[in-house]
Structure 1
Amino acid sequence: MKRLALSACLATLLLASTSALAQVDGYAGHPQTPQPIPAVVDQAWSGVVRLEVDATDLNRRIYQVRETIPVERAGPMTLFFPQWLPGNHGPVGPIVQLGGLIITANGQRVEWIRDTLSPWAYHIEVPAGATEIVATFQHLSPTTGSQGRITMTAEMLNVQWEKMLLYPAGRFHRNITTQASITLPTGWQFGTALEPETTAGNTTTFKPVTLDVLVDSPMFAGEHYRQIDLDPGGRSPVRLNIVADEASNIAPTDEQIGILRNLVDQADYLFGARHYDHYDFLMAMTDRLGGIGLEHHRSSENSVDPEFFTSWESKLGDRDLLAHEYTHSWDGKYRRPAGQDVANFNIPMQNTLLWVYEGQTQFWGKVLAARSGLHNRQQALDALAMDAATYDNTVGREWRAMQDTVNDPIIQQRAPIGWRAWQRSEDYYVEGQLIWLDADTLIREKTNGRRSLDDFAKAFFGMNDGDYSANPYTFEEVVATLNGVVEHDWATFLRTRLDGHGPGAPLDGLTRGGYRLVYTDTPSDYQKTLYGEYGRNDFTYSLGFQTSATNQIGSVMWNGPAFQLGLAPGMQIIAVNGEEASASRLSNAVTAAKGTDEKIELIVKDGTRFRTVTFDYHDGLKYPHLERIEGTPDRLGDLFTARRR
Structure 2
Amino acid sequence: MNAAAAEVRAAAPQQLALPPAVPPARDVHMPGTITLKVDGTDLARHIYNVHETVPVPSELSAHGGDLVVRYPMWLPGDHSPTGPITQLGGLSVHAGSQTVAWLRDTVDVSAFHIPVSAGTSSVTLDFQILTPVSPEVGRVVMTPDMLNVQWNAVALYPAGYYTRDITVSPTLVLPHGWQYGTALRPRAGAAAGDSVTFQDTSFDRLVDSPVFAGHYFRRFDLTPAHGAPVALNVIADRPEELEATPDQIQAHRNLVLQANAVFGSHHYEHYDFLLALTEELGRIGLEHHQSSENSGPRGYFTKWDKTFPFRDLLPHEFTHSWNGKFRRPEDLWAADFNTPHRGSLLWIYEGQTQYWGYVLAARSGLMTQPQVLDAIALVAATYDGRAGRLWRPLVDTTNDPVIARRTSLSWRSWQRSEDYYSEGQLLWLEADTLLRQLSHGQHSLDDVARQFFGVDDGSVVTHTYRREDMIAALNAVQPYDWAKFLHDRVDVVTQHAPLEGLARGGYRLVYAKEPSAYQSARQALLKMNDYTFSLGFAINQKGKLLNVEWNSPAWQAGLTMDEEIVAVNDLAYDGDTLSDAITAATAAGSAPIRLLIRAGDRYKTVSIPYHGGLRYPRLERIANTPDMLADILKPRTIAQ
Amino acid in structure 1 at the alignment position of 2:298 = P
Change (3 A) 1:228 1:234: farther
Does residue 420 (structure 1) correspond to residue 405 (structure 2)? The answer is: no
Amino acid in structure 2 at the alignment position of 1:421 = S
Inter-partner Cα distance in structure 2 for 1:318 and 1:400 = 29
Q: How far 1:234 moved relative to its partner? A: 3.7
Q: Check whether the contact 2:316–2:357 (CA below 8 A) recurs between aligned residues.
A: yes
DSSP-derived class of the 1:317 partner: helix
Inter-partner Cα distance in structure 2 for 1:125 and 1:468 = 37
RMSD: 1.6
Q: Which residue of 1 aligns with 2:483?
A: 491
Q: Check whether the contact 1:515–1:629 (CA below 8 A) recurs between aligned residues.
A: yes
DSSP-derived class of the 1:196 partner: coil
CA deviation profile, 1:77-131 (whole Å, cap 9, x unmatched)? 2111001001101011110011101111122111111112111111121111100
Q: How far 1:399 moved relative to its partner? A: 1.1
Greater CA deviation, 162-171 or 234-243?
A: 234-243
Q: How far 1:448 moved relative to its partner? A: 1.1
Q: Check whether the contact 1:542–1:620 (CA below 8 A) recurs between aligned residues.
A: yes
Inter-partner Cα distance in structure 1 for 2:597 and 2:220 = 51
Q: Which residue of 2 aligns with 1:541?
A: 533
Q: Check whether the contact 1:42–1:175 (CA below 8 A) recurs between aligned residues.
A: yes
Q: Which residues of 2 match residues 212-231 of structure 1 at below 5 A?
A: 212-231=204-223
Amino acid in structure 1 at the alignment position of 2:372 = A
Does residue 637 (structure 1) correspond to residue 630 (structure 2)? The answer is: yes
Q: Which residues of 2 match residues 71-110 of structure 1 at below 5 A?
A: 71-72=56-57, 73=60, 74-110=64-100
Inter-partner Cα distance in structure 2 for 1:39 and 1:374 = 46
CA deviation profile, 1:297-335 (whole Å, cap 9, x unmatched)? 111111111211001111133211111100000000000
Does residue 475 (structure 1) correspond to residue 460 (structure 2)? The answer is: no
Does residue 48 (structure 1) correspond to residue 33 (structure 2)? The answer is: yes
Q: Check whether the contact 2:224–2:257 (CA below 8 A) recurs between aligned residues.
A: no
Q: Which residue of 1 aligns with 2:148?
A: 158
Q: How far 1:201 moved relative to its partner? A: 3.6
Change (3 A) 1:272 1:503: same
Q: Which residue of 1 aligns with 2:575?
A: 583
Q: Which residues of 2 match residues 242-261 of structure 1 at below 5 A?
A: 242-261=234-253
Q: In the comparison of the two structures, how many residue pairs are matched? A: 621
DSSP-derived class of the 1:543 partner: coil
Q: Check whether the contact 1:35–1:115 (CA below 8 A) recurs between aligned residues.
A: no
CA deviation profile, 1:235-257 (whole Å, cap 9, x unmatched)? 21100111111111100101100
Does residue 354 (structure 1) correspond to residue 339 (structure 2)? The answer is: no
Q: Check whether the contact 2:71–2:111 (CA below 8 A) recurs between aligned residues.
A: yes
Inter-partner Cα distance in structure 1 for 2:392 and 2:21 = 38
Q: Which residue of 1 aligns with 2:523?
A: 531
Greater CA deviation, 555-564 or 193-202?
A: 193-202
Q: Which residue of 2 aligns with 1:465?
A: 457
Inter-partner Cα distance in structure 2 for 1:35 and 1:502 = 46
Q: Check whether the contact 1:156–1:289 (CA below 8 A) recurs between aligned residues.
A: yes
Inter-partner Cα distance in structure 1 for 2:517 and 2:193 = 51
Inter-partner Cα distance in structure 1 for 2:101 and 2:492 = 53
1:63 to 37, 48, 52: 48
Q: Check whether the contact 1:513–1:636 (CA below 8 A) recurs between aligned residues.
A: yes
Inter-partner Cα distance in structure 2 for 1:33 and 1:586 = 59
Q: Which residue of 1 aligns with 2:293?
A: 301
Q: Which residues of 2 match residues 12-411 of structure 1 at below 5 A?
A: 34-72=19-57, 73=60, 74-197=64-187, 198-199=190-191, 201-231=193-223, 233-411=225-403
Q: Check whether the contact 1:192–1:299 (CA below 8 A) recurs between aligned residues.
A: yes
Inter-partner Cα distance in structure 2 for 1:108 and 1:233 = 56
Q: How far 1:525 moved relative to its partner? A: 1.4
Q: How far 1:232 moved relative to its partner? A: 5.2
Amino acid in structure 1 at the alignment position of 2:117 = P
Does residue 612 (structure 1) correspond to residue 594 (structure 2)? The answer is: no
Inter-partner Cα distance in structure 2 for 1:201 and 1:507 = 55
Does residue 429 (structure 1) correspond to residue 414 (structure 2)? The answer is: no
Inter-partner Cα distance in structure 1 for 2:85 and 2:492 = 38
Q: How far 1:140 moved relative to its partner? A: 1.3
Q: Which residue of 2 aligns with 1:598?
A: 590
Q: How far 1:205 moved relative to its partner? A: 0.7
Q: Which residue of 1 aligns with 2:614?
A: 621
Inter-partner Cα distance in structure 2 for 1:95 and 1:296 = 21
Q: Which residue of 2 aligns with 1:5?
A: none
The runs of 4+ residues in structure 1 deviating greater than 4 Å are none
DSSP-derived class of the 1:313 partner: coil
CA deviation profile, 1:587-608 (whole Å, cap 9, x unmatched)? 1111111141112111111111
Inter-partner Cα distance in structure 2 for 1:193 and 1:201 = 19
Q: How far 1:35 moved relative to its partner? A: 4.2
Return 5+ residue gaps in structure 1 as ranges: 1-7, 23-31
Inter-partner Cα distance in structure 2 for 1:341 and 1:545 = 38
Inter-partner Cα distance in structure 2 for 1:400 and 1:512 = 26
Q: How far 1:200 moved relative to its partner? A: 5.5
Q: Check whether the contact 1:192–1:282 (CA below 8 A) recurs between aligned residues.
A: yes
DSSP-derived class of the 1:336 partner: strand
Inter-partner Cα distance in structure 1 for 2:572 and 2:28 = 69
Q: Which residue of 1 aligns with 2:441?
A: 449
Q: How far 1:33 moved relative to its partner? A: 5.0
